[in-house]
Amino acid sequence: MLDKFHDECGVFGIYGHSEAANLAYLGIYAMQHRGQESAGIAASDGHQVRVAKAMGHVADVFNQSVLSKVPGALAALEARVGASAGPITRTPKEILDQKKSEILN
């Protein structure tokens, strides 16, 4: 049984703030380092989960236009590094759903 993430990545989440996606972006941007190859974000307004992901560095993947399309008070952002198993294979929504399930159970 897996008790933790086994990916080479950075994960940052925010809960309970109206600008969760923007704050998660700043958090993961501060954690990124050379070798990062892809990034994704999932954010929820309590009714819908919206996802954005792409290959590239956090600053290249997410701009204000992209972040404005993922509103909500809950956001999780992941950045994968080149030493990992490859680009993002699980979406940030899947990670968010898994973590939400773990917290609620």
Which residues are identified as catalytic? 9
Distances (CA, A) of 21 to 1, 24, 58, 68: 31, 5, 13, 8
Three-state secondary-structure class, residue 77: strand
The answer to whether 35 and 81 have CB atoms below 8 angstroms apart is yes
